[in-house]
Amino acid sequence: MTRLPMMAGNWKMNNTISEAVVLTQELSYQLEHDWDDVEVVLCPPYTDLKPVLTVLDYDKSAVKVAAQNVFWEEKGAFTGEISVRMIKEIGCAYSIVGHSERREIFEESDESVNKKVKALVAAGLGAIVCVGESLFVRDEGIALMFVEGQLRAAFAGLEPNDAAKCVVAYEPIWAIGTGRTATPEQAEEVCAMLRETIAHMFGGACAEEMRILYGGSMNTGNVDMLLAMPNIDGGLVGGASLEAASFSQLVKACRK
Ligand code: 13P
């Protein structure tokens, strides 16, 4: 089975509405219209979701939109949080869950990641589940074990058909925003382990179907080598997604 590659741009806390509209228009123009061989996803901040979707709708673009985070409760007294129903109604197809910046800065736990994944799939949305080790963990020689633990915790208690709605992103923390990319072999070693773990948890068919992305200083110079690896099905990109020229190059790299 051949998996549809995915290129997702995580804008993080960048772009006001006016900046987001310009970037989406530029991107939509550069990506052309006639393609169905890669799934392109933009992950803007909450305030930009609607404006970005409006531009994409106007352009009849196939580009999808994801939130960067979501809360698992349906509604109520949770000041500052956004529910799955809210991002679904606005038109999001996915939400990123468990990005290392949320785990580190906002102390998100494996348990809260699992609750968010469950809330998303229950509503028919997909989760882009981030896993990845720190430099300390890698230097200790326990990166594979650590990342496997994160994956198992994130997907605990899911049914195979719900797990299949999700995407996994391997993002080694030491490679995020540092310009220091994992080598294709380092990334492939972890991504192969992730697919094997999915096969153990949910069966071979689910593992074959699931997209596994690499994230961490992916750019136009290293994308081809990373995508050449058999278990890397695309990218979750930060810095290089903030310019239409570089992000559209990364999308095109998926189409070869
Ligand atoms: P950079 O591409 O800027 O390293 O960020 C990666 C990332 O964290 C995407 O979620």
* Single-letter amino acid code for the residue at 193: M
Residues with pLDDT less than 50, the chain: none
- Of 93, 13, 89, 78, nearest to 47 by C-alpha is 13
Q: How many CA atoms lie within 13 A of 251 on its CB side?
A: 26
Question: Would you state the pLDDT for residue 219?
Answer: 96
Q: How far apart are CA 43 and CA 56, in angstroms?
A: 13
Alpha-carbon distance of 127 to 84, in angstroms, equals 11
Q: 177 in ligand 1 pocket by Cβ < 6 Å? A: yes
Among candidates 205, 194, 63, which has minimal Cα distance to 129?
194
The secondary structure element, H or E, covering residue 168 is strand 167-170
**For the chain, what is the mean pLDDT?**
96
- State whether the Cα torsion 54-60-63-64 is positive or negative: positive
pLDDT at 177: 85
Tokens representing 152? 């198992």
Which of 108, 133, 171, 188 is an active site residue? Answer: 171
Distances (CA, A) of 41 to 141, 185, 254: 33, 26, 13
d(CA 41, CA 62): 9
Per-residue pLDDT, 179: 80
Ligand 1 atom 7, closest CA: 238
pLDDT for 2 equals 85
State pLDDT tens for residues 22-37.
Answer: 999 999 999 976 678 9
pLDDT value, residue 35 = 76
